[in-house]
């Protein structure tokens, strides 16, 4: 009789959707800003959608299933260091982000939060401006615009590192992309007695409610006339 390969759910559907929608929105923001002209309106839309996704991920990190939770991958220099040293010959791995990956996840979330929140206050001095730029001084707008523009190179470096790191793990026999698509890891590849992540209708309904609320906030942010607040 063939041995059925057992799978363990590691990434819940909301976390996976978050990741791939984030990819679409960040790439969308980067492409449309290069196209310029009327595409800038799409840059703002993709940017605000990115911000909503990030807020979703922060809340999901507090209330979501086990491997998506921040307390399952707290940043630790000591743990990251021992992860880097090849002291063990075991081929099993822990579920969720490893201690080194944890640092990169926090770095990516922080950098994208800075990029999107500065975006709300920037202006090109011609046609397009972040929806909240009318609430701060011109001096502050120009400072935040410089930070926002500088962010481009930091984001490119960060994304390059992200994709290279995933390639290195693939080379070492740890495929990470598949689990980020379908959610599962072969149970034999995981440490013994690894508990699966909860990914049932309750988790998904909770995520849907949160996502709907944030989608509404994003829509409001992109359509509200904040200039009226000052007059």
Residues 62-121 touching ligand HEM, rule: CB under 6 A, are 97, 101, 105, 108-109, 112, 115-116, 119-120
Closest by Cα among 172, 126, 166, 167 to 145? 126
Please state whether beta strands 184-186 and 7-9 pair in parallel, antiparallel, or not at all (unpaired). Answer: antiparallel
**4/214 with CB nearer ligand HEM:** 214
Contacting residue, 14, 32, 56, 145, with ligand HEM by CB under 6 A: 145
# of chain residues touching ligand HEM (CB under 6 A) = 45
Residue 7, strand partner residues? 186
Contacting residue, 91, 124, 208, 212, with ligand HEM by CB under 6 A: 124
Contact 61, 70 (CB under 8 A): yes
Closest by Cα among 53, 69, 68 to 21? 53
Contacting residue, 163, 164, 192, 230, with ligand HEM by CB under 6 A: 163
Q: CA end-to-end span of the chain, whole Å?
A: 77
Residues 11-50 touching ligand HEM, rule: CB under 6 A, are 15, 18-19, 22-23, 26-27, 29-30, 33, 43-44, 47-48, 50
**20/81 with CB nearer ligand HEM:** 20
Contacting residue, 99, 130, 183, 196, with ligand HEM by CB under 6 A: 130
Closest by Cα among 59, 58, 31 to 45? 31
Closest by Cα among 65, 91, 78 to 11? 65
Is residue 88 exposed (0-12), middle (13-18) or buried (19+ Cβ within 10 Å)?
exposed
- Kindly list the residues in this chain that would bind ligand HEM in the complex (CB under 6 A): 15, 18-19, 22-23, 26-27, 29-30, 33, 43-44, 47-48, 50-51, 57, 97, 101, 105, 108-109, 112, 115-116, 119-120, 122, 124, 128-131, 145, 148-149, 152, 155, 159, 162-163, 166, 176-177, 180
């Amino acid at each position: 009789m063939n041995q059925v390969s057992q799978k363990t759910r590691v990434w819940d559907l909301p976390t996976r959707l978050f990741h791939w929608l984030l990819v679409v929105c960040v790439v969308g923001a980067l492409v449309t800003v290069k196209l310029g002209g009327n595409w800038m309106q799409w840059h703002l839309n993709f940017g605000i959608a990115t911000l909503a996704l990030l807020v979703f991920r922060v809340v999901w990190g507090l209330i979501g299933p086990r491997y998506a939770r921040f307390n399952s991958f707290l940043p630790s220099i000591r743990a990251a260091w021992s992860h880097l040293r090849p002291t063990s010959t075991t081929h099993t791995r822990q579920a969720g982000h490893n201690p080194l990956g944890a640092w990169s996840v926090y770095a990516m979330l922080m950098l994208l939060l800075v990029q999107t929140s500065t975006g709300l206050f920037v202006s090109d001095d011609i046609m397009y401006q972040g929806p909240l730029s009318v609430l701060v001084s011109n001096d502050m707008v120009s400072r935040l615009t410089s930070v926002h523009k500088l962010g481009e190179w930091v984001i490119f470096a960060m994304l390059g590192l992200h994709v290279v790191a995933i390639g290195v793990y693939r080379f070492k026999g740890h495929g990470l992309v598949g689990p980020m698509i379908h959610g599962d890891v072969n149970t034999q590849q995981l440490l013994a007695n690894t508990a699966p992540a909860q990914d049932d209708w309750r988790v998904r309904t909770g995520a849907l409610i949160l996502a709907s609320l944030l989608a509404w906030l994003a829509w409001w942010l992109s359509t509200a006339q904040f200039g009226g607040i000052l007059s």
